[in-house]
A and B are shown apart, each in its own frame.
Chain A
Amino acid sequence: MSRLSSPPDGVSTGLVLVAAALMTLGVVMLASTGATLEQSLFETTSWRAPVVRQVAFVGVGLVVMLVCGRIGPGVLLWRVGSWFQPAAIGLVIAVVLLAAVWVPGLGVESHGRRRWVAFGPLGFQPSEVAKPALVVFLAAMLTRRRPDGAGTKPDLTVAMLAVGLVCAMVGVEDFGTAALLALVGGLMMLVRGCPLRTLAAWSIPAVGAFTYLLVSHPYRVKRLMAFTNIWEDPLGAGYHPIQSLAAIASGGWSGRGLGAGMAKYGYLPEGRTDFIFSIICEELGVLGGGMVILLFITFVLLGLATMRRAPMNDGGFARLFAFGVTVTFGLQALMNIAVVTVVAPTKGIALPLVSSGGSGVFCFCAAIGLLAGVPRLRSLPAAAFSGHPAGVPGVLPAMERVR
């Protein structure tokens, strides 16, 4: 068990701290949106429930993250190459859950869309599971070792099919997440070194599919049109963007004060979830919003550092995994903030770890925990990856710089 006793590492600790900070902010903001003037602070019945729930989610999430950090992504390499490897199992579970949304009695409709699966009192969003599952699967497929053990041979076709399948299943009900997953998939292939020509060729059917998903739901087209001029229909399609901007603008530089926001009084209906960033800006100002953005930038840079000093003796799996997790997390945050600041058209995408909800917290916590555990792979004996040299010239000095 020598790998479990390696000393805590600055970058890994930083990742955990950033994630914990974001989750804490999420809980604080959830309490803030619930604490309205309509009732006394001591009449806590109406806001206590969601906050307590979220505190529980965050608590469990932290435990999950620390445990995953202890274990490290090495576990994903268990029985690698076989059909029973964790990457394959994860993807299958994700696909099954995505399909379960459509099973009567399991799938739950919310806001007119089926994105939820319920097991008794517990419910969660399969699309959240799909994100880490796809990242792990792609990392595994793209760094698959040759049967003869001499180097790696990426299985691009399987990877592409996996991305296509997951995006299609997610995209029917959740265009934003599908776009995110497709983008993440494409970027991971790019980083793995897939030729641009191949990627371009694959992107043609992808663009076609996304166009179909777009036009198959009139509200998506409407949102896209509204984005071009949000003031055209201020009470209809333009309502959310305008109210989001209004909330941000009324915050000013330092905000109206925690709990003093007005948008939560029915002006911004998704204030606890997708539009939490607007509420943060309203109550904590550009300063608060800027801090959140800085946290995400920090996370991405820490992810980059993690990636760069991950060992190559696993054929690049850890690196690709680190990149995948980082880019999924960062890209989702970027898309969310772009939506609420009306830089991009409205789509239902949450601010990772900050928006209230359990599924996202658990899945990202697990992924971030594994990411934080990447440095542990260094202590793996070289023999674990027979035939592969431990480390590649040039990687170690680069890693030192990052430190």
Chain B
Amino acid sequence: MEARYADQGRNYSVIGGTILVGLCLSFAALLGRLVHINTALAPKLSALVQNQQIGRTALPARRGSILDAAGRLVAGTRTRPSVFADPVLIDDLDETALRLSMVLAVARERIAEILYENEARRFCWISRLIEPQDAVAVRELKLRGIGVRNESQRYYPMGELLAPTLGIVGREGRGLEGIELAYDEHLRGVDGQRVLVYDGRSRRRPIRARTPLSHPERDGGHIMLTIDGVIQSSVEKNLRAAVESFNAESGVAVVMSPKTGDVLALAQYPSFDANDYGAADVETRRNRVICDAAEPGSTFKSYVACGALIAGVVDPDEEIDCGNGERRFGRRVMHDSSPHGLMTFEGIIAKSSNIGMGVYAERMGNDAIHSIVRAFGFGARLGIRFPGEATGIVLPLSRWTSYSTTSVPIGQEVSATPLQLATAFCAIVNGGELMRPRLVKAILNAESEIVKYYGAPDVVRRVMPRETARYMTEQVLVGVVKNGGGRAAALADWQMLGKTGTAQMPFLDRKGYEPSAYIGSFIGAAPAGDPACVALVMIHRPDTGLGYFGTTVAAPAVRSIMADTLAYFNIPPSSRLASR
């Protein structure tokens, strides 16, 4: 026994030393483990830490409103309560469904179905965007696992009014069409975010109310339109009446202020309810005033007539032989809808003689016709800020033929949007300046302070000398209403001027025109001395048995619209018109 324990000194030094040094090496290994945790394992663990400690809540920005020119709300955002459930907290799903169905407009079976489908989830919607009084009733039930949360909803207090112009907003709060899309960034604002750091206790509470990562939401600004709700409703009412009384397929109308280019109203019928846009198809929702181009027909004569005046091929006293309804131009034989003999320039426009226009056009030549058409803004975007604005078609000069010489002046071989026609007409009646059309009058920030105001008109170019425009307006186009095809548009209290148009509708898939498919249109302005308003109405595919000439189907609508608008603008009557 003694021998075994003899070498004690060695035992202590060697074995004890080895053990203790081994202990130190183990510590060093743990130091390595610390490094390992902070490098190799760090990504997975950091993600875990982020998940369990950081809670992010979106703070939705409030979408700005769209107002009309007088500040009336046409598109707004309202807060509506939505009922949600945490099914895990609910003991008896059927009982909860039954009690909820008594205060909500949702069937008991439907609620039960939702609850059972989401039985294991912590959140599901029961009924969204309900009436506030229903939400109060739900709260009073004091049901466990049922809550009410406020949600934002886009709504259009005027319903169908202006719907194709305002556009729509998608479920995620983004503008998808129309003004809602064009000014989406401004209207939407910037969503905020609340980042909270939570503790690890069973009932999670935030440790800090504020973190540097949080930022508040910035509410969207507002848009004030040039459109006036009163004029708009008159336009929509009269357009609808015209379409319905002529049993037409559809109609479009636009009213503009010629001095500024502001669009005062634009409408199409049939339209849709912006609050239920899902019920309308894309075709119906498209803004046909800005986005649809068609052959304009005889209204186009007024623009080319200006060109003839500028080109100096018109002598107002000269009488043109209109061939009693038929005349040959090169290989082409042209017809008038009613035969005319000798007529002056004014007479040709007033009676809308194709042959008379053909004579002037031949004198002008393709070059001059093309340049005046382009000068009025046809064949190019006008630059109104609206998604899907159409250019219309004006063929390049190189593709014009001898037919074009006589076709274009009578509004064939070209296509234009109603907005282009109205804008060009503004350039005639305002003294010769083409104004860029506008839909927006002012941009306001979230605090309703004006950020940008579009006051001065945006002049694109001068199309013709003031004198030419004056002659066109006060003599030629007034003549259309006084003595020509536009008599149906005449107003009792103000001198109306304008131009009729009746266009045939071309086949969509082949050359030629559909028989008995017409667009009857009238474009007018009043009062003649100093026009305050330009209005265009186009009626598509009226029932030919009831009438299809522009003077029949569109002129009365323009007259009603104009009467309403001028009265609304307090324009004094032009003292018992001289013509009477």
- Where the two chains meet, the residues of A that have a C-beta atom closer than 8 Å to any C-beta of B are 36-38, 151-154, 187, 190-193, 195, 242-243, 245-246, 248-253, 262-263, 265-268, 281, 286, 289-290, 293, 296-297, 300-301, 303-304, 307-308, 312, 316, 319-320, 323, 326-327, 330-331, 333-334, 337-338, 341, 343, 392-395, 398
Contact = CB atoms under 8 A, between A and B. Distances in A.
Contact of A319 (B12, B23, B33, B42): B12
A213 B17 CA distance: 32
B136 interface: no
A338 B31 CA distance: 10
B20 A245 contact: no
A262 B13 CA distance: 45
B392 to A, nearest CB: 64
Interface residues of B, number: 42
A113 B422 CA distance: 91
B27 A192 contact: no
A296 to B, nearest CB: 6
Given A250-B46, A312-B9, A343-B30, A191 B200 contact: no
B568 interface: no
A96 to B, nearest CB: 31
A338 B48 CA distance: 22
11 contacts: A151-B2, A191-B16, A249-B46, A262-B49, A265-B201, A266-B200, A281-B34, A286-B34, A327-B23, A330-B27, A333-B27
B20 A330 contact: yes
B19 to A, nearest CB: 6
A246 B12 contact: no
Given A281-B34, A326-B20, A330-B23, A249 B8 contact: no
Contacts of A266: 199-201
B483 interface: no
B199 A394 contact: no
A238 B53 CA distance: 18
Going nearest first, the 4 A-B pairs with the smallest beta carbon separation are A267-B200, A266-B200, A249-B45, A265-B199
B28 interface: yes
A37 B30 contact: no
Contacts of B49: 246, 249-250, 262
Contacts of B34: 248, 281, 286, 289-290, 293, 341
Given A286-B35, A334-B26, A193 B41 contact: no
A224 B45 CA distance: 21
Contacts of A242: 48
A138 to B, nearest CB: 14
- Interface residues of B, dominant DSSP: helix
A326 B15 CA distance: 14
B38 A307 contact: no
Contact of A323 (B5, B20, B38, B201): B20
A308 B8 CA distance: 12
Contacts of B19: 187, 190-191, 323, 327
A37 B19 CA distance: 45
Given A192-B11, A245-B37, A296-B27, 20 more contacts: A153-B2, A190-B15, A192-B8, A193-B7, A245-B45, A249-B45, A250-B49, A262-B197, A262-B207, A263-B200, A300-B20, A303-B20, A312-B8, A323-B20, A337-B27, A341-B33, A341-B34, A343-B30, A392-B8, A394-B9
How would you classify the secondary structure of chain A's contact residues: helix, strand, loop or mixed?
helix
Contacts of A249: 37-38, 41-42, 45-46, 49
Contacts of A187: 19
Contacts of A316: 8, 12
A338 B23 CA distance: 12
B4 A265 contact: no
B48 to A, nearest CB: 5
B428 to A, nearest CB: 73
B141 interface: no
B208 interface: yes
B45 A304 contact: no
B207 A36 contact: yes
Given A154-B5, A281-B34, A297 B24 contact: yes
Nearest to A234: B48
A308 B17 contact: yes
B279 interface: no
B137 interface: no
Contacts of B20: 300-301, 303-304, 307, 323, 326-327, 330
B281 to A, nearest CB: 51
B21 interface: yes
A297 B8 contact: no
Contact of B208 (A37, A250, A327): A37
Choose among A191, A251, A394 the residue with the greatest number of B CB atoms under 10 Å from its CB: A191
B1 interface: yes
B17 A248 contact: no
A308 B27 contact: no
Interface in B30-84: 30-31, 33-35, 37-38, 41-42, 45-46, 48-49, 52-53
Nearest to A193: B11
Interface string B186-223: 00000000000101110000011000000000000000
Contacts of B24: 297, 300-301, 330
B11 A286 contact: no
Contacts of A320: 12
Contacts of A326: 20
Nearest to A263: B200
Contacts of B2: 151, 153
Contacts of A268: 200
Contacts of B4: 193, 195
A297 B30 CA distance: 11
Contacts of A243: 200
Contacts of B30: 293, 334, 337-338, 341, 343
Contacts of B16: 191, 304, 307, 319, 323
A245 to B, nearest CB: 6
Contacts of B41: 245, 249
B273 to A, nearest CB: 51
A293 B27 contact: yes
Nearest to A286: B34
A191 B45 contact: no
Contact of B5 (A152, A262, A286, A308): A152
A317 to B, nearest CB: 11
Contacts of B37: 245, 248-249, 341
Residue of B8, B45, B52 ringed by the most chain A CB atoms within 10 A: B8
Contacts of A323: 12, 16, 19-20
A190 B197 CA distance: 53
Given A249-B41, A265-B207, A330-B23, A308 B46 contact: no
A286 B37 CA distance: 10
